Chains A and B, each alone.
Chain A
Amino acid sequence: MIVAERKPMAEIIEMVKDCKKVLVLACRGCVTVCSAGGEREAAILASLVRLGLKKEGREVEVIEGSLVRQCDREYIDSIDQWQGQYDAILSTACGVGVNFIANLRQKDMVYPALNTTFFGGSTEQGVWMEQCAGCGDCVLHLTGGLCPVARCAKSLMNGPCGGSVEGRCEINRDVECIWQSIHDRLGAFGRSAQMEVIAPIRDWSTAGHGGPRKTVRKDLTV
């Protein structure tokens, strides 16, 4: 899922300080699962916005709403139901949701309440870890299913580097050296020889270095 976290309140208050009516718009997709922008977090945020603006001596009406997802046109259209009740939308979706609102609603000002951080999953309650960087040219079949792009500090394709010590990464001993784990995992499947194969220099254009990426499925277009 896409993982995100709430922006600092001072930053959010600065965005909405001139608003009289704010719609805090939750997303019931990924950000609900990572407890950053679902209905519960939106209710907390609405309360904090009211308090923050009261402290600045400003009166504001804050209403809450939520969409199944904010990354689909059909749901964005349903923002019409709150028409006239807001002068800005404070979205608790990931950056995709905020962009979709901006793309599709020319008259609506939209602000991001979250910092979208990574694609990951929960490793224990309350903890999320990055797992994939969406590089567009997946190598997991070569690395035992463990991602060197997202999970190696240097995104090495031929690891580990000389800084790997006892399975820990040189940037911080709290960080797993994923190349050590790749090695161990390949070994467990009798495929250690895979580690000897030198990966060629990568073309990173699929990783976003070649401009915004787009997927077209001709079989699905109408």
Chain B
Amino acid sequence: MSFDPKITLFSCHYTSQQSCAEGGHELQQLGFPASISMVRVPCTGKVQVTSLLKAFEDGADGVYVVGCPVDGCHNVKGSVRAARRVGAVQKALAELDVESERIAMYHLPRGLQPQFIAAGVEMDQKIRDLGPSPFHKI
């Protein structure tokens, strides 16, 4: 089934800082999927479990977080904390019998690196394969 997914990305300022350059045009040119809307946060350690769940409540079919490398977080442990919270949501989704792959954590080098685009493409494809969120029934 083909559909247009809605994906929410939470990305830390350091990982995504160049991705906003030129009003985001550069991102588009590099093939960053249009299905992804980005929420920039000062540090992914700031992203609470409730923010991740709210994204699903607001209609996201998939959610992912991009933060600094595990051993190179600008705020020391921010991206590790984010990964733990993503893990908590994965577990909760599984308890609700929903595919836990609908949420993911990526630790990527800072700036607009090819991996940033690749992660977006991977997430977009994954959510297309999974289909619409089962939370959209009403």
Interface residues of A (CB under 8 A from B): 8-10, 13, 40, 43-44, 47-48, 50-52, 54-59
B92 and A50 contact, CB distance less than 8 A: no
Interface residue count on the B side (C-beta < 8 Å): 17
Binds A, one of B19-27, B95-103, B121-129: B95-103
> Which residue on chain A has the smallest CB distance to residue B98?
A55
A212 to B135, CA, bound (A): 44
Contacts of A44 in B (CB 8 A): 49-50, 53, 92
A contact patch SS: helix
Contact digits for B9-44, partner A, Cβ 8 Å, 1 yes 0 no? 000000000000000000000000000000000000
Inter-subunit contact B50/A10 (CB<8 Å): no
- Lowest 10 A-B CB distances belong to which pairs? A9-B95, A47-B53, A57-B137, A54-B135, A52-B96, A43-B50, A55-B134, A44-B49, A9-B96, A51-B135
The listed residue with most A CB atoms (<10 A of its CB), out of B54, B92, B96, B134, is B96
Main secondary structure of the interface of B (DSSP, over half): helix
Any A CB within 8 A of the CB of B106? no
Distance A40 CA – B88 CA, assembled complex (angstroms): 14
* Distance in angstroms between the alpha carbons of A50 and B56 in the assembled complex: 10
Report the Cα distance A52→B53, complex, angstroms: 11
Distance between A152 CB and nearest chain B CB, rounded to angstroms: 32
Q: Give chain A residues whose Cβ lies under 8 Å from the Cβ of B54.
A: 47
Known contacts A10-B96, A52-B96; A47 and B134 CB within 8 A of each other: no
| B4 interface contact, C-beta 8 A | no
Distance A6 CA – B57 CA, assembled complex (angstroms): 20
Q: Which of A13, A51, A59 contacts B57 (CB 8 A)?
A: A51
